[in-house]
Amino acid sequence: FLAQLAPGLITPALDGRFDFDPATGQLQVLTPAVSGRELDVATTLARLEEGVFAPDSRIVPMAFDYTLPRYHNQVTAAELGITELVAAEVTHFEGSSANRRTNIAVGVSRLNGIIVGPGEEFSFNYHLGEIDESNGFVEGLVIFGGRTIAGLGGGICQVSTTIFRAAFSGGFAITERNSHGYRVGYYELQGDPPGLDAAIWQPERDFKFQNNTPHHLLVEASFYPSRNELEFRFYSTQHWRAEIDDAIVKNLVDAPQPIFEANRDLQQGEILQVDFAAEGADVTVYRDIYDMQGNLVVEDDYVFTHYVPWQAIYQVAPTDSRLSTVNTVSAPTG
């Protein structure tokens, strides 16, 4: 009977989430760790045998074996080799809708305070969790089926793009990165170069990097709504230094002519833009990685992106003169 109960009483150990204080060099607990437990069948059975004839109590406590998580509440930065800032990247989201901003904020909150061990691979989708309403995500614009449409979690790629840039500039090994189909304006705000975006689409497309250093890595993420910024900071011990070259942009292709769609919900003279023009391009960004003695250890590592040209799409009233049989698509009412 106890053996049958045991699987349902297992609690896995959960690592804590932490913040690094550069002033003190200490970790501060953001989310407490949870110890794991497993039923000790033999000890519990022995307690039952001892208590079965006890006249004063008919309650026998179960016995459990407890295991500390790897990153428990008393773990220190020094023992993990977390001593300094080794990478940081900021992206901007001015002009984002309220829903897009909500999804960015939710994504940032779910990725803050994670420790990645030496040699371990970080999976964005794993730590983000499922993109659904129960996790706080709302509808925003996503790229799907050759269109920019409303979809749950739209804007989360701003978060994956930012952490990708931190991993890339920090010299970490990029093990999975998928680009967007076309150049997204948000990722080139404030003079940021093209070719450094990272798209995710659950469950098929993920962003992953490996902590290919001998030190633990702490991932911190912050959302700054008043500044329209989000930031990722990596704390560890500086193991190497990466130099990022300017983006090489080739094979520019003009955006196609805009498309006009008939939308029966619009009146004559009204117009609704549902997709935005972007020129096509091939973009390559190189990086060289040096050890702390200045020796070149990785040369001409790079990311390549092929962006397709993208047309603007406008919805207008069915009687609008800009509609034609060549570039018109009927839009559903809604």
Question: In which region does residue 46 sit, left (phi positive, over 0), alpha (psi from -120 to 50) or beta (all else)?
Answer: alpha
Instruction: Supply the pLDDT for residue 143.
Output: 55
Q: Write phi, then psi, for 29 (nearest 5 degrees).
A: -75, 125
Model pLDDT for residues 4-46, shown as the tens digit of each residue: 999 999 999 999 999 999 999 999 999 999 999 999 999 999 9
Paired residues of 121 in beta bridges? 210
Which regions of the chain are under pLDDT 50? 325-334
Question: Which of 288, 182, 171 has its CA nearest to residue 240?
Answer: 171
Identity of residue 105 = A
134: how many CB neighbours lie within 10 A of its CB?
A: 7
Alpha helices in the chain (DSSP H): 2-5, 41-51, 77-80, 98-111, 124-128, 156-169
Q: Helices 156-169 and 98-111 meet at what angle, rounded to 10?
A: 50
The pLDDT of residue 262 is 86
